[in-house]
Amino acid sequence: MLHTQALVRASQLDVTYLGEVRALVDLAFEVPPGQFVSIVGPSGCGKSTLLRVIAGLIAPTTGTVEVAGQTPAIARRSATRLSFVFQDATLLPWRNVRDNVGLPLELAHFAQAERGVRVDEALALVGLENATRRFPSQLSGGMRMRVSLARALVTRPELLLLDEPFGALDDLTRHALNDELLRLWQAHGWTSLFVTHNIAEAVYLSQRILVLSAQPGRIVADMSVGLPSPRTADVRATAEFARITGEVAASLRRAAT
Amino acid sequence: MKRAIAWTWEVAGPPVVFLALVVLAWQAVTALWEIPAYLVPSPGRVLAAAREHLADLARASLMTAGGALCGFVLSLLVGTAAGLVFSQSKIIERSIYPYAIFLQTVPIVAIAPLVVMWCGNGFGGVVTVAFILSLFPIIANATAGLKRVDASLVELFEICNASRWQTLVKLRLPNSVPYLVAGARISCGLSVIGAIVGEIFAGYGAQGFGLGYLINMNTGNLDTAYAFAAVIAATLLSIAIFVAVTSLGATILGRWHIAAPRNDTTRHSSTTPIRKTAR
């Protein structure tokens, strides 16, 4: 049955803040394991709220969200490994790179030896092997984001939630990190929900794009991205890439009105 | 080296010159108008009094420093504990925090005699007054530091299924360190004032005497030059404690990799070169 296969499932999901501000209205979608889904929409449409509901940080007002068949908070406390990458790097300034990356394992009471192996592995994934003793204040914005990414990957997540992680970076750094993220996803195949307001970024990374309307957020389009996989940076120059980008932009324009 | 000298002159020069001018003017005024020494002693007389009573002044300064530091350390412990309680329970914070502000507004000179009556003459009374006066900045800063944590970091800990204890020990407490350092800088100066006020009312009896006692007694005896010397000793003591706490705080903040809030310029000069080598 398709229901049991979906890793994330939302049905009739409504979120209302303070009893009056409607953030999300009647959302329904399923995400099968291993899919890379981007969520785009005008600012303030509730994209971040949606991720926080799936992370179990916010409870739905009505309707349900399930992760691996359970409520998100229960899922992440039991078997499902869930990681979240924030808009800012969100590092502890008093810890060096290594200890920041190891934090999730430390909180989960991993043994020191196992922690060391996993931290090394995660640091290698994002190319930070040589910066392990540095502190966040000594790193550039792009490197801080890499640390944040390594911290999310250190738990070997099944579900990776990313909330506009590269929004504050310059274009070059953003492209480099997009390539990195794509490469890592293609190698590890975790399930990704990626919130962004950058259409090209969404098209480049995703297999599927959900377009949300302006507040209150509803799903106005659910498009699959038919670009070849594995992708390389060249795909940005193809006609198909331009066509899909244009299509997403058009549905975003419709969503904003 | 040359730059260091130029810098020292630029920073220390103007206030030193100004001080010298004030001392000269003070000497001139007392000499020209023939002001009686019991009203305003000349700088020379103050210096003479300081020399004559150097041993007593030093002993009194140590005594006052002891009382002030005990009050200050007590404030650090009690204030941090109060902050911990406030940060963990909203209802307790809402009920009690407004009354903590009493500590800030209570006229210490008015309640010092009461404190002495309750806590007795001697060291205990002095420490209690120093403690009461220096407590509030620690409570306020500890509470703020434990509560004002980046919302995303709190969410991160929640997503990592951190327990309340882990969030306190690994996030809130470290986050409060810069706040505590800022609070300690304010609080340590207040503790000296508190100790001196305490000594004026309490004294140490047979245990010895502090600067507050010297100021009070010599003003009463019209030995104003000696009283002036004691006031100057009290000021120097305050400055010494402030400098010690500030530099200790700077060391801690350096370990924390957070620049002290006021030293924005040093922060820039220390981080830019590291970034350059990174690229």
Give the residue, B241 or B114, on which the prediction is more confident.
Answer: B241
Of the candidates A84, A131, A135, which has its C-beta nearest B159's C-beta?
A84
- Rounded to whole angstroms, the Cα distance separating A251 from A175 reads 24
Residue with tokens 């709190």: B154
Give the residue, B100 or A33, on which the prediction is more confident.
Answer: A33
Of the candidates A107, A139, A140, which has its C-beta nearest B161's C-beta?
A107
Structure tokens at A138: 């000594």
Identify the pLDDT of residue A3: 45
Average pLDDT over residues B12-40: 85
DSSP 3-state of B68: helix
- Rounded to whole angstroms, the Cα distance separating A180 from A21 reads 37
A interface with B, Cβ–Cβ < 8 A, is 52, 55-57, 76-77, 82-84, 86-88, 90, 92-94, 103-104, 106-108, 131, 135-140, 143
The answer to whether residues B255 and A137 touch, using CB atoms and an 8 Å cutoff, is no
Residue of B nearest to A148 (CA): B156
What is the length of chain A? Answer: 257
H/E segment holding residue B12: helix B2-32
- Kindly provide the ipTM of the predicted complex, given to two decimals: 0.91
The answer, for B252 touching chain A at a CB cutoff of 8 Å, is no
Chain A residues lying within 8 Å of B150, measured CB to CB? 90
The answer, for B257 touching chain A at a CB cutoff of 8 Å, is yes
DSSP string, B100-160: HHHHHHS-HHHHHHHHHHHH-SSHHHHHHHHHHHHHHHHHHHHHHHHH---HHHHHHHHHT
Identify the pLDDT of residue A194: 95
Cα Dmax for chain B: 77
Identify the pLDDT of residue B259: 53
Residue with tokens 């590092």: A91
A50: how many CB neighbours lie within 10 A of its CB?
Answer: 29
Identify the band that residue B152 occupies on the pLDDT scale cut at 50, 70 and 90: very high
The answer to whether residues A101 and A89 touch, using CB atoms and an 8 Å cutoff, is no
Identify the pLDDT of residue B48: 87
Chain-chain contact of B275 with A138 (C-beta, under 8 angstroms)? yes
Q: First vs last Cα of chain B: how many Å apart?
A: 30
Chain-chain contact of A103 with B160 (C-beta, under 8 angstroms)? yes
Residue of B nearest to A95 (CA): B256
Spans of chain A, pLDDT less than 70: 1-4, 257
- Is B180 a residue whose pLDDT tops 90? yes
C-alpha dihedral, A120 to A123 to A126 to A127, nearest 10° = -90
- Rounded to whole angstroms, the Cα distance separating A6 from A193 reads 13
- Rounded to whole angstroms, the Cα distance separating B158 from B37 reads 69
Identify the pLDDT of residue B276: 30
**B206-262 pLDDT per residue, tens:** 677 888 888 888 888 888 888 889 999 999 999 999 999 999 999 888 887 765 444
Residue of A nearest to B178 (CA): A94
**A-B interface: how many C-beta pairs under 8 angstroms?**
66
Identify the pLDDT of residue A257: 66
The answer, for B171 touching chain A at a CB cutoff of 8 Å, is yes
Listed in sequence order, the residues at least 6 apart from B139 whose beta carbon sits closer than 8 Å to its beta carbon are: B79, B82, B83, B86, B100, B103
Q: Select the residue from B159, B269, B274 to test the A interface by mutation, using most A Cβ atoms within 10 A.
A: B159
- Is B278 a residue whose pLDDT tops 70? no
Tell me the pLDDT of chain B averaged across its residues.
Answer: 84
Of the candidates B150, B153, B278, which has its C-beta nearest A140's C-beta?
B278
- Rounded to whole angstroms, the Cα distance separating A125 from A148 reads 12
**B256-274 pLDDT per residue, tens:** 776 544 433 333 333 333 3
Identify the pLDDT of residue B266: 35
- Rounded to whole angstroms, the Cα distance separating B11 from B21 reads 17
Chain-chain contact of A90 with B152 (C-beta, under 8 angstroms)? yes
B277, β-bridge pairs: none
Identify the pLDDT of residue A151: 95
Chain-chain contact of A86 with B152 (C-beta, under 8 angstroms)? yes
